[in-house]
Amino acid sequence: MSKKLIFFLVSVLLAGLFCTAAFAGKTVTVLGTWGGAERDAFMKMVEPFEAATGIKVEFTGTRDLPTILTTRVAAGNPPDISGIPNPGQMQEFAEVGALVDLSEFMDIGKLQDEYSQTWIDLGSYGGKLYSIFISADLKSLVWYSPKAFSSAGYQIPQTWDELMTLSDKMVAQGKTPWSIGLESGAASGWPGTDWIEDIMLRTVKPEIYDKWVNHEIPWTDSAVKRAWEIFGDIARSDKYVYGGAATALTTNFGDAPNVLFTSPPRAYMHKQATFIKSFILNYDPTLKPGEDFSFFPFPSIDPEYGTPALGAADMFAVFNNTPEAQALMRYLATAGAQEIWVVQLGKLSANRRVNPSAYPDDLTREAAQILASAQTFRFDGSDLMPAAVGSGSFWSGILDYVGGEDLDSVLKRIEETAVDAYKK
Amino acid sequence: MSEKTSRILSRGLLHTVIILIAVLWLIPTIGVLITSFRPAQDVANSGWWTVLGNMFDSARLTLRNYNMVLSRLGVGRAFLNSFIITIPATIIPLSIALLAAYALGWMKFFGHTFVFMALIALLVVPLQMTFIPVLRIFNKLGLAGSFPGIWLAHSGYGLPLAIYMLYNSISGLPKELFDSASIDGASSFHTFLYIVLPLSVPIVASLAIFQFLWVWNDLLVALIYLGGTPDVAPITVQISSLVGSYGQDWELLTAAVFISIVPSLIIFFSLQRYFVRGILAGSVKG
């Protein structure tokens, strides 16, 4: 081995030791799921905070958030502040005492003034507030192309009957109403769970929906079964879905809306949350929100339940009660911070004080309006269920059902995993 | 048919099959390579093979993905971190493993069999099981989030296989070598330095390739023990943060993969002449 090589290797070792020692200063570490443009937006949001306080925000984004966070919490090495995948997981962390009670350093009265009770409740556990929401996605939307609709003379359906009549009309004209994409790698099937949840909210009382989420009614219950059947009437039908069930199963959720914007359109409607806007614009940056693509609320099914809003949201909690973490958390809860964040990403803010004119376009403003004015709001049910069901058998059940399996056996299988998962 | 033509025929058949398998094997990589030069909109609209027809249509090929990756990644720092992690995490376990394999193969000591059995048992422990206990110890020692911590972790994960492979090769060396060395008055350490070490170069080289690639490509271990702050994050962590939480901008990954692959290729090609020899040395006991 030459002397040069040995010198090089020793200097690498020393460099490693030196870099570690040099790392110090007032920082707050943040863990989240965001990457790419989302990560840039987050850094932009904390820029004014860093400038004002001199505290450095060190953000790590990983799509493995549940694994990394659980491991680091269990090992006693959590980040100062972390994004939490869903309220269910927040409750688990709160239960083991890993989270800091926000009332220790935040003005609860002010939070209650700025956030609706729904968000406060979802962020609380055992009467204590543990997390705040910095943004939300509205899921109860059907995306369409206004140009394609007007040139074919279609009206926006207000009720489920109108929606099905419109679908049948399209079929009769040799067109395909829906585009569905269920593929999402290891998470395949989740777009279907949004369908089931939205249909549930429109066919039963919100209390029954909560019972279903908490597994107080079984998956084989007639209310649950009806929701699946309504979903299946569309998703399992070769005439309603572009390419039939096979295409729905193999199309990535992000690519599914593309066929709405081909000429002529290969499909006319696509159910997805607000975030799909960035996928549509990625597919064709020349499309204009509001003109080339828009959405209408997923119509009501049983009139008595109206059109409730289903959503998901990004929540943060504090794991290390340092002054720096407290300062950042207070900042993240403000309308000012969230305005920067939502403008970058087209997300919706959870803070009521966010100025509607801050949203980048009318479409996002309208979604914010729907979310704010919804009579009933429910959090994405699969995110609230234990992982074995909510991100396990529910997802695979969707795939099996759309793939043609008998509904009773699918529901029976989910019920079996649920019985185990809720026992803990 | 003469013997010669039949031999040529069977050779030809063999080569056709091999080439066919190689092409099949390469197709996904070629697909990723072509995709990495395509604009995001094209990637969403059509398959990479559609480019093949008009290879030199410059409107359909772009360096944008590479530009984006290089500007977003802060590649310099990430590459440096990856080297700072990978080089010691390759050298430390291999040095220890060489000494251990020599001791297990040629020295008699109490508990020899027990140590060897423990080693075999450690080969089958999934590393995910060790995250929480090891991270707890690292917290106490102040090693979490530091380079020495991850060197230790990777050394630990790499050692069982390295010792096992080296043991197989070193214990297979002819006994006469060691006898004559001891007659000439060589100590155990001299025997190791002047006989075992030079004879083990091929297997060490192939193990070095394995360990280097494993550490270089590792994401999970780095995320757990190092975290993802830019001061310490290796290139894999930085690459994974290029993609949005719903998988947006995945086309950037195709370019990032080819950037991160370069050092691995250099290591592989500079050590590959030892590679096959090394594997054989490990598997076939003298």
Cβ <8 Å between A75 and B246:
no
Please tell me the distance from the alpha carbon of residue A22 to that of residue B147, in angstroms, as a whole number: 12
In a shared domain, residues A119 and A238: no
Give tens-digit pLDDT for A309-320.
999 999 999 999
Helical H runs in B107-192? Answer: 112-123, 131-141, 147-170, 175-183, 188-191
Decide if A388 contacts A421 (C-beta within 8 A). Answer: yes
In a shared domain, residues A205 and A284: yes
A13 pLDDT band (50/70/90 cuts)? low
**Where do we find the tokens 């997802």?**
A395
In a shared domain, residues A64 and A164: no
Decide if A203 contacts A222 (C-beta within 8 A). Answer: no
Q: Quick check: A5 pLDDT over 70?
A: no
In a shared domain, residues A221 and A367: no
**pLDDT higher at B56 or B154:** B154
Does A20 touch chain B if contact means CB atoms closer than 8 Å? Answer: yes
Count of structural domains within chain A: 2
In a shared domain, residues A202 and A129: no
A35 found inside a domain: yes
Return the amino acid letter for B6: S
In a shared domain, residues A272 and A413: yes
In the prediction, which pLDDT does A20 show?
45
Decide if A56 contacts A359 (C-beta within 8 A). Answer: no
Cβ <8 Å between A60 and B85:
no
Q: Least CB-CB distance to B231: which of A19, A64, A255?
A: A19
Please tell me the distance from the alpha carbon of residue B243 to that of residue A37, in angstroms, as a whole number: 8
Give tens-digit pLDDT for A270-285.
999 998 998 898 888 8
In the prediction, which pLDDT does A140 show?
95
A190 found inside a domain: yes
Residues of B in contact with A254 (CB under 8 A): 246-248
Give tens-digit pLDDT for B89-126.
999 999 999 999 999 998 888 998 999 999 989 999 99
In a shared domain, residues A67 and A82: yes
Q: Quick check: B147 pLDDT over 90?
A: yes
A14 found inside a domain: no
Burial of residue A406 (number of CB atoms within 10 Å: 0-12, 13-18, 19+):
exposed
A71 found inside a domain: yes
B248 pLDDT band (50/70/90 cuts)? confident
In a shared domain, residues A257 and A155: yes
CATH classification of the domain holding A260: 3.40.190.10
Residues A371-385: what's their mean pLDDT? 89
Q: Quick check: B2 pLDDT over 70?
A: yes
Residues B55-80: what's their mean pLDDT? 79
Nearest chain A Cα to B45, which residue? A283
Angle at B178 between CA B177 and CA B180, to 5 degrees: 70
A417 found inside a domain: yes
Interface of A with B in 264-293 (CB under 8 A): 275, 278-279, 282-285
According to CATH, what is the number of the domain B72-283? Answer: 1.10.3720.10
| Residues pairing with A142 in the sheet | A271, A296
A17 found inside a domain: no
**Mean of all residue pLDDT scores within chain B:** 86
In the prediction, which pLDDT does B277 show?
64
Decide if B183 contacts B230 (C-beta within 8 A). Answer: no
Backbone angles phi, psi at A315, to 5 degrees: -115, 150
B285 pLDDT band (50/70/90 cuts)? very low
A299 found inside a domain: yes
Final residue belonging to a domain, choices A359, A377, A395: A377
A10 found inside a domain: no
In the prediction, which pLDDT does B230 show?
80
**pLDDT higher at B188 or A191:** A191
**Mean of all residue pLDDT scores within chain A:** 90
The token duo for A103 is 């009332």
In the prediction, which pLDDT does A343 show?
82
In the prediction, which pLDDT does A1 show?
47
**Where do we find the tokens 């002397």?**
A3
Helical H runs in chain B? Answer: 3-35, 40-45, 50-53, 64-73, 75-106, 112-123, 131-141, 147-170, 175-183, 188-191, 197-199, 201-217, 220-225, 235-240, 251-283
Give tens-digit pLDDT for B157-186.
999 999 999 999 999 888 888 888 889 888
Residues B47-72: what's their mean pLDDT? 79
Residues of A in contact with B229 (CB under 8 A): 29, 58, 60
Q: Quick check: A18 pLDDT over 60?
A: no
- Domain borders along chain B are 3-66, 72-283
In the prediction, which pLDDT does A23 show?
38
Cβ <8 Å between A76 and B147:
no
In a shared domain, residues A147 and A281: yes
Q: Quick check: B251 pLDDT over 90?
A: no
Give tens-digit pLDDT for A127-146.
999 999 999 999 999 999 99
Q: Domain containing A412: what range?
A: 141-307+385-421
Q: Quick check: A416 pLDDT over 90?
A: yes
* A59: enclosing H helix or E strand: strand A56-61
In a shared domain, residues A252 and A393: yes
